[in-house]
Amino acid sequence: CKQPNQNVKPCPNEDIIRKLEELQELHKVKPTEDDHWRVYSYSKSIRALRTHPKRIKSLEDAQKIQGVGKKTAQKIIEIIETGDLQRIVYENTEDVKAISTFTGIYGVGIQTATMWYARGCRTVEDICNGVGDVKLNDGQKIGIEFYDDLNSRMPREEAKAIFELIKPIALRIDPKLFVEIMGSFRRGKSDCGDIDILITRCSDDGRTHEGILKALLEKLHLAGILTEDLALPDYSKPLEAVYHGICRLPDVHGARRRRIDFLTVPWSSKGGALLYYTGDDMFNRSMRLLANKMGYSLNQRGLYAGVVRDPRNRTVKSNIGISITFLLWWNCASILSTGNLIASETEEQIFKALGVPWREPHERVT
């Protein structure tokens, strides 16, 4: 598919975005509701700034941008005038710094990071040295070994180069496979945090992609493309599998380790999976919310009706003046429609069923 590279042109407010992102990262590891709101509010401002075509020069300029609040506008001015943001210094306390460093390790969430800090760990070295009797699982050990690589985003071109090695290897196993790159790459971003690959296969000829992922992973290890596994698929679900691992461009001196994810789904879920795996996560969240409001449920398998309501929990009140016939019909309808698939084969079907005008992947940012 076409990849409009809307983010490739230089952004006139890049320095402001960098500082706001830095502050946002610090709030991400803090526990209060207020911090969560700040993260959300900064992400709105950052998105708005990314698409703002002109350099911001004044408080008025900043406040006029949709999504930028008054307090953020003041911060923007501080960054423009001083090149810095005092709030970063203020928020960057020892605990926040340490916890934020720890959550940069693959497989470490805020809870684990906070626990390690409480046990006395202040640096990654402390963790490795067993301070506070901290134990690491295999994924976390790999996360530490390649900490810097895995915390840097790759240029779009590198994701493309790696994918273009992988796709033909997959098609050699089965030429009828659907193998596409999803996530930030499909949205046309100029840099990617990882490589997300969706695999499925039309089963009209009676065959499926069962067993393909296992074979593919083996070949990719042999080719030196996959270097470490982080989470292997659950092979008890033959058509629906998730893999997390690490890859790199083989035969390139100094090539960095990159995160890679595979998702396989049944052909009937292709549209649901494309929509989910293209993201971004905020766009997905708003689509799910909309689906729920309409009494539907949206996930990577597709759009379903009836699953949000549990008919058994419905209490019948006799004083609300609804006829018994209607209540019976309503309950039957709920029961009959439990898990009823509304749309899943194509993304277009799902947009249509939700009454949302079509949005190209690069437009799917909220």
Pairing of strands 194-201, 258-264: parallel
**Only segment of 194-202, 322-330, 331-339, 354-362 that touches Mg ion (CB under 5 A):** 194-202
Sign of the C-alpha dihedral, residues 298, 304, 306, 307? Answer: negative
Residue 192 binds ligand DCP, judged by CB under 6 A? yes
Cα 196 from Cα 366, distance rounded (Å): 20
**Only segment of 21-29, 195-203, 240-248, 321-329 that touches Mg ion (CB under 5 A):** 195-203
Residue 196 binds Mn ion, judged by CB under 5 A? yes
Length of the chain: 366
- The residue sitting closest to ligand DCP, measured at its beta carbon, is 279
**Only segment of 246-254, 257-265, 269-277, 321-329 that touches Mn ion (CB under 5 A):** 257-265
Q: Which pair of tokens denotes residue 88?
A: 């970063």
Cα 229 from Cα 218, distance rounded (Å): 11
Q: What is the dihedral of CA 143, 157, 275, 210, to 10 degrees?
A: -70
Residue 91 binds Mn ion, judged by CB under 5 A? no
Among 24, 41, 284, 334, binds ligand DCP (CB under 6 A): 284
For Mn ion, which is the closer residue by CB, 77 or 230? 230
Residue 194 binds Mn ion, judged by CB under 5 A? yes
Among 184, 227, 264, 334, binds ligand DCP (CB under 6 A): 184
Q: Which pair of tokens denotes residue 314?
A: 């419905």
Q: How far is residue 340 from each of residues 224, 334, 335, measured CA to CA in Å?
A: 44, 10, 10
Catalytic residues: 75
Distance, first Cα to last Cα, the chain: 22
For Mg ion, which is the closer residue by CB, 41 or 300? 300
The distance of closest approach from Cβ of residue 3 to Mg ion in the complex, given in angstroms and rounded to an integer, is: 15
Cα 221 from Cα 250, distance rounded (Å): 10
The distance of closest approach from Cβ of residue 192 to Mg ion in the complex, given in angstroms and rounded to an integer, is: 6
Residue 25 binds Mg ion, judged by CB under 5 A? no
Binding positions for ligand DCP, rule: CB under 6 A: 183-184, 192-194, 196, 276-277, 279-281, 284
Q: Which residues would be at the binding site for Mn ion (CB under 5 A)?
A: 194, 196, 261
